[in-house]
Amino acid sequence: MKKEIYLFIVAAMVFVSCTSAGKPAPIEPAVSSDKGTLPSKFQLEGDWQQEDQPHKVFSFSSDNQVLTPSGAGLRWEERDGEYFLFWKSGHPAKIERIRDNTIRIGKLTYVRGAAAESALPASIEALIRATNSTTNILFIHMEDMGCEIAPYGDYTQETPALSRLADEGMVFERVNVTAPSCAPSRGSLFTGLYPHQNGMWAFDQTHGFEYREGVPTFVQMLKAAGYATGISYKTGVSPQSAVPFDYKYNYNSNALGKDPGRFRVSNCIDGFEDFLKNRLQPGQVFYFQAQTNDTHTPWSPSYEPIRGMESKLGLHPVDPQSVQALPHWGDIEMTDKAREYLATYYGAIQRVDYYVEQVLALLEKYGHSEDTLVIFSSDHGPSDLHRGKTTSYEYGLRVPFIVKWPGVVEPGVRSEALVSFVDLMPTFLDVAELPKPAYLPGHSIVPVLTGERPGGDRELLFSAYNTHTTGLKNFWPARTVSDGRFKLIYNLLGDGETTRPGDNDSSFAITKMMEASKEGRDLIERSATPPTFELFDLQKDAGELTNLAGNPEYQQVEAQLKTSLANWRNKIVMDPLADPATLKEFAEDYYQQTKEWEAKAKSKGGEKALKQAGWRLDKSRWIPAWDPSPYLP
């Protein structure tokens, strides 16, 4: 039997509550497609059965209807990799939860089969062979987390597990994601491609962006080569068929609300142990992406531990008086409210450190501490802290990156090598002893880890941000290039007067703190109305407070970086927005669709109702099927 998929019961129950008041759930999905006859198993009156091509009991129509023996129609929908069942009328089925992946509707118990995996292109299939590697890969991947930990010089709170990992491995100073937003950053992680190359330009879900049809991922390649693959928490990309992990432990039911009654750091720890204990064949190598959402807002109801949870873990609340202004805020005087708010972020980092400790302990417990490459990192910088997530400043792009590889990486080393998230797929393939597809723009960092080439093969870091979630206030395309010291930001719509939109403004406490001083107000204004180009000397000005663009002393540096950025956009990654006409056309299409979205939301009861109904923007015209030929050397 093929692997079963987990059902997101909690989300389905939201629709139940919508109908309890006598109103039908607002079901208005995007255009349906024939999902075919997926493998399922079902139980009628006590007898379990299974059929690879369901009939009699279930029949699938082109509009995703599932017909039960009584003739009552159920519709199933996939939304960001999770499945929902609804009555044909639009009312959700009354659901009784049996297990995480099993629901009962009346006398019918139904377990949804796994969605079909995307096929690899023939050119990629030709590269794959059974791996001879004996090295496992554990990628500990955080969400919305910056470098505010002891290995990077921030001692606001202790992070003993991360400090120990740094002492036993290599700490990278210059690692950037490809975009300061979750979906495009994760999109690059899995494909080794920049957002506009792979199709994941921006947030998936309602925004309508997804992988180009047929784009390969390292998950597919490692799996085909014999690696067991697993992940806890979300993939953050669409469609899920492009990242067919053997094992998914999605505890997303209270991911953002962090309901203290149910939110547990142990959720994702349990998933990793289940994977190690029950999902591996003897001697099988594995890739596991261990994730927790602790550092995604909200961090805590207050700066106290999350209602006793942290105290049970042996953690202590961060003292707000120990919190200092972050470097990119300049010399702004902290207010008590700002300290209290920032302390909750540090509290979340404490929980991350606890998670890292437990995950590494499981490696030891199951005998994999010496044969596993461990990488700790994040998808981008923090939100709500000004000039972080969704901005192209370092606080949005730069992430922690600590690597331990017993017998390979020299302990206690710090590296200045430039690393981009497009370098991770080549690195993972290198570790698995698989060849790298020729179209990939990234470089394996294995030579850096082994000491063969300490400086690595990358000379420049690039990023490509377009927008984040759905809304007119979000579109602000920006491209960056950095040589490690100097960094150029190109705001495609910036002119020094136009207000930069964004859905990730500072929290109320942080904004009030900054507004209390002239320096803070000036910084807000400069960030809100950026010029076309911003140039920073990261060596002298790590907080990016002084724009050197247009300064005659740096004219040559600015010209060189502009040339490098233009070459990258036009000749290497084929950035569609490099053409002014295409930028104008895309912007007009974006604004028109978003206006329709907002009008529809107003008539349907708000954006939340639209999201629950599965209504999405249509970006298909901007995401053609995958073709590697433009990116081949």
User: Looking at the structure, do residues 262 and 398 belong to the same domain, yes or no?
Assistant: yes
User: DSSP for 107-148?
Assistant: TEEEEPBPPPPPPPPHHHHTT--------EEEEEEESS--S-
Residues of the chain with pLDDT under 70: 1-116, 205, 250-267, 300-312, 470-473, 502-505, 607-615
Report the C-alpha gap between 155 and 141 in whole angstroms: 21
User: Looking at the structure, do residues 17 and 107 belong to the same domain, yes or no?
Assistant: yes
Is residue 534 domain-resident?
Answer: no
Question: How far is CA 25 from each of CA 77, 199, 619, rounded to the nearest angstrom?
Answer: 14, 31, 26
The answer to whether the beta carbons of residues 416 and 455 sit under 8 Å apart is yes
The answer to whether the beta carbons of residues 377 and 140 sit under 8 Å apart is yes
User: Looking at the structure, do residues 160 and 51 belong to the same domain, yes or no?
Assistant: no
Tokens representing 136 are 């496992």
Is residue 423 domain-resident?
Answer: yes
Please report the pLDDT score of residue 610 as a whole number. Answer: 67
User: Looking at the structure, do residues 144 and 212 belong to the same domain, yes or no?
Assistant: yes
Is residue 120 domain-resident?
Answer: no
Is residue 61 domain-resident?
Answer: yes
Is residue 545 domain-resident?
Answer: no
User: Looking at the structure, do residues 189 and 272 belong to the same domain, yes or no?
Assistant: yes
Residue 360 sits at the vertex; the CA angle it makes with 356 and 364, to the nearest 5 degrees, is 165
Nearest to 137 by CA among 405, 379, 398: 405
Residue 88, phi then psi, degrees to nearest 5: -55, -30
Instruction: Find the helix or strand (DSSP H, E) in which 446 lies.
Output: helix 446-450
Burial of 302 (0-12, 13-18, 19+ CB in 10 A): middle
Length of the chain: 633
Tell me which of 111, 141, 159 is where a domain ends.
111
CB environment 453-475: b (16+ within 10 A), e (fewer): eeebebebbbbbbbbbbbbebbb
Tokens representing 507 are 């929290």
Residue 271, phi then psi, degrees to nearest 5: -65, -40
Is residue 157 domain-resident?
Answer: yes
Please report the pLDDT score of residue 469 as a whole number. Answer: 72
The answer to whether the beta carbons of residues 496 and 504 sit under 8 Å apart is no
Report the C-alpha gap between 320 and 278 in whole angstroms: 43
Residue 124, phi then psi, degrees to nearest 5: -80, -40
User: Looking at the structure, do residues 181 and 321 belong to the same domain, yes or no?
Assistant: yes
User: Looking at the structure, do residues 155 and 26 belong to the same domain, yes or no?
Assistant: no
The answer to whether the beta carbons of residues 35 and 64 sit under 8 Å apart is yes
Q: Which residues contact 520 (CB under 8 A, 6 or more apart)?
A: 329, 330, 332, 513, 514
Nearest to 110 by CA among 58, 73, 37, 173: 58
Please report the pLDDT score of residue 165 as a whole number. Answer: 99
- Cα within 13 Å of Cα(183), Cβ side: 25
User: Looking at the structure, do residues 102 and 137 belong to the same domain, yes or no?
Assistant: no
Is residue 560 domain-resident?
Answer: no
Please report the pLDDT score of residue 58 as a whole number. Answer: 34
Tell me which of 391, 423, 458 is where a domain ends.
458
Tell me which of 79, 111, 143 is where a domain ends.
111
Tokens representing 11 are 């989300």
Give how many domains the chain has, as a whole number. 2
Is residue 591 domain-resident?
Answer: no
User: Looking at the structure, do residues 82 and 162 belong to the same domain, yes or no?
Assistant: no
- Cα within 13 Å of Cα(459), Cβ side: 5
How, if at all, do strands 108-111 and 102-105 pair?
antiparallel
User: Looking at the structure, do residues 357 and 409 belong to the same domain, yes or no?
Assistant: yes
Burial of 553 (0-12, 13-18, 19+ CB in 10 A): exposed
The answer to whether the beta carbons of residues 182 and 469 sit under 8 Å apart is no
pTM: 0.82
CATH code where residue 296 lies: 3.40.720.10
Q: Which amino acid is at 123?
A: S
User: Looking at the structure, do residues 60 and 199 belong to the same domain, yes or no?
Assistant: no
Report the C-alpha gap between 313 and 290 in whole angstroms: 19
User: Looking at the structure, do residues 139 and 223 belong to the same domain, yes or no?
Assistant: yes
Report the C-alpha gap between 361 and 364 in whole angstroms: 5
Domain that holds residue 199: 131-458
